[in-house]
Amino acid sequence: MPSIRPALVVVGVALLVVLVFGIGAALTTTPSSKVPRQARLEGTGLVAVPAGAALHPIEILGTPPADVLDALVLPKGARKVSASPWSGETQYSANMSFQLATSQATVVDFFHTELRSRGWSIVNVGPARADKGATEVLAQRASSDGWFWEAGVVVFPTAFTNASSHADVTRFSVDLYEMPDAT
C-alpha cells in the first residue's frame, strides 16, 4: 500500500512557501491611499487636490483607469470651463478646461512639480504647438491597464479681467491620451 507521506511533505513545503512570501509581501508593501492628501506647493500658495471628481465628465466605463486618475491633481479653486469627452472611436483622447485666479507661470510650476512628484515622467515643458503664448507640460506614465498614458497640460497666457482690480485669470486644459502601441 502506497504511503501518503511524500504528498504531505509537498503540501507542507507549498504552504510554508506561501506563508513566507505572504509575510514578506506584507512587510515590504506600503499601503497607498487612493486620495492624495492636500499639499501646498512651495512658493506658489497653490494647494493640490485630487482631480478624479473634477475629471469625472471625461471618464467613460473606467477609462482612464483609476491609477491614472489617482495620479492627477488640480490646484484648489480651479473652476471647470469645458469638457470634451472621448468619442470612443479611437484610442482614448479627452480634455477638460479650467480657470484659476493666478499667473501662467504659477500654474506651469504647479503641474511640472506635481506631475513629477506623483510618478509621471516629464517629457517636455515648453511652448504649446498650436497656441501662441501658451506653455505645455507634457508627462507620461505606465498604467495598470497595460498602456502608457500622456497628460498634456496647456497653460494659456494670463488674462486680466478687470483693469481696475488687476484680477488675473489663467485658463488651462488637461488633455489625457492613451498612447498607441509602439510596435
What does the pLDDT read at residue 156?
A: 95
What does the pLDDT read at residue 24?
A: 58
Domain ranges of the chain: 39-178
Q: Would you give the DSSP letter of residue 10? A: H
What does the pLDDT read at residue 109?
A: 96
What does the pLDDT read at residue 123?
A: 94
| Helix, strand, coil percent content, the chain, rounded in steps of 5 | 25, 35, 40
The pTM for the full model equals 0.73
pLDDT tens per residue, range 112-161: 999 999 999 999 999 998 888 999 999 999 999 889 999 999 999 998 76
The listed CATH number (3.30.70, 2.30.170, 2.60.40, 3.30.310) that belongs to domain 39-178: 3.30.310
What does the pLDDT read at residue 160?
A: 76
Q: How deeply is 145 buried, as exposed, middle or buried, from its count of CB atoms within 10 A (0-12, 13-18, 19+)?
A: middle
pLDDT tens per residue, range 51-87: 999 999 999 888 999 999 999 999 999 999 999 988 8
